Amino acid sequence: MNASIVLAMISLRLRRVFSDRMALVWFLAMPLVFSFLMGQLLGDWSDSGDGAKPRFLVLAPVQDNDLERLLLPLRDHERFQIEMRDTLIADAVVQKAVADNRVTAVLIVPGALATSDSTTGGPRLYYNADRLSSQTVRTLLDRHLLGLNTELAARSLVAPPDAAGHMPRGRARAFDVARFDSLLNEPRVILAAETLGRQDKEQAFALTDSFQHVGPSYTLFFVMMFVLLSAKDLVTERQDRTLARLTASRATAGTLVAGFFGGALVLGLIQIAVLLVLNGIMGSIDYGDSPATLVAVVVLFAGVCAAGSVLMGSLARTGSQADGIGVAVTMMMAALGGLWWPLEIVPEFMQELGRALPSGQAITIFHDMIGRGWGLAECGGLLIGLAFWFVALLVLAVWRLRRLVTV
């Protein structure tokens, strides 16, 4: 491989692009215009999330000021909305409603609240947003209440002997506290119990502003389109015999493959880096706390586009055919991969299809970095998927182009 020829081919590709004013419009201006307009059109997503808040159902036949005072800490909560009912519902119906996720929780207040106690001020209701701590407290309370009820039942079996000194059948002379504690802590039979309530699943859509999507998505879209449409340059060089003349000189097949691929890769890296920076400034986008993940997704996606460009340029017979294939592939990847709209809003089977494509994998990584602060560990699977696409397309492109230059 001749490094000087490779660098010359890369330099020639860059000079062709940057000397063409119309190419610069699609390289830089149009992506920013689309990002800005779509960001303004889609607006704020902070309340979009999973739609309506989960319902916190309160069943209270008596709805007075005392009840309102009890529920005051839960009003206008970010995790749920209070829904009042003035009727009571059977416990089985309530449990089924929670189990079916129709409501997130149910509070039953069967009668008027007693608030006349000047010392305590009546009952109070607290909400702990730490799910693990809340579940731990609930488990401890359930266990303690179970112990109290069991002890009460056991003490009811204690009875004095009759006049003849005989113990009644099924009764005990005294209550053995030590024996009871031993059986309670180490029971002979353990029953599995399901606590009423549910743990909310992680919110599927983590973005709060439309720029967090349209910034990286239109960057990926225009990089893919620009690099894939540059495949016609390879077709042109094949048609005007430039490729044959290079082959007849001292350029090997490996040198030509590296030159064409390197030119497309450098072009894609420059475009994606510039657009991410400008979109980040324009939309105040924070790309997360993992620069390594950001670099990995940028390099892999640019590599996928560059390898695809070389493959298309070696397959297409005319420049117009290369343009047509490039536009069709770009539009399909953008629509199915979630570059025009977030994958999180489409049906599950479409999400799976989208995340199988390089465009869907790349934009999902950006969503996870921006919305959840994920890094290499969490995004590793999607990065491996991008790497697979890159290697597969590059192998096919090298195989096809080497056949062209060695025939």
315-369 confidence digits (pLDDT tens): 998 889 999 999 999 999 999 999 998 888 888 899 999 999 999 999 999 999 9
Q: What element of type H or E holds 40?
A: helix 30-42
Instruction: Look up residue 407 and give its two tokens.
Output: 């025939």
Q: What is the mean pLDDT of residues 233-250?
A: 75
Q: What share of the chain is helix, strand, coil (3-state, %, to 5)?
A: 65, 5, 30
* pLDDT for the residue numbered 142: 81
* pLDDT for the residue numbered 354: 93
Per the model's pLDDT, the better-predicted residue between 112 and 105 turns out to be 105
Judge whether residue 237 has pLDDT over 70: yes
Judge whether residue 157 has pLDDT over 90: no
* pLDDT for the residue numbered 335: 93
Environment class of 389 (CB within 10 Å of its CB; exposed 0-12, middle 13-18, buried 19+)? buried
Judge whether residue 267 has pLDDT over 80: yes
Q: What is the mean pLDDT of residues 163-187?
A: 81
* pLDDT for the residue numbered 198: 47
The Cα–Cα gap between 68 and 119 comes to: 20
Range with lowest mean pLDDT among 119-128, 218-227, 280-289, 326-335: 119-128
* pLDDT for the residue numbered 105: 81
Question: 44: pLDDT confidence band, cut at 50, 70 and 90?
Answer: low
Judge whether residue 387 has pLDDT over 80: yes
* pLDDT for the residue numbered 199: 45
Kindly state the percentage of the chain with pLDDT values over 70.
84
Which own/partner contact pairs does 75-79 have at CB distance under 8 Å and 24+ positions apart? 77/53, 77/127, 78/53, 79/53, 79/54, 79/104, 79/129, 79/200
pTM, 2 dp = 0.62
Q: What is the mean pLDDT of residues 293-309?
A: 95
Range with lowest mean pLDDT among 130-139, 258-267, 310-319, 351-360: 130-139
Q: What is the mean pLDDT of residues 14-22?
A: 85
Which own/partner contact pairs does 71-79 have at CB distance under 8 Å and 24+ positions apart? 71/125, 73/125, 73/126, 73/127, 74/125, 74/127, 77/53, 77/127, 78/53, 79/53, 79/54, 79/104, 79/129, 79/200
Range with lowest mean pLDDT among 22-36, 175-189, 246-260: 246-260
* pLDDT for the residue numbered 116: 47
Question: How many other C-beta atoms lie within 10 A of the C-beta of residue 35?
Answer: 27
The Cα–Cα gap between 157 and 179 comes to: 15
Judge whether residue 115 has pLDDT over 60: no
Q: How do residues 54-74 score in pLDDT, each as one tens digit? A: 778 888 888 888 888 878 877
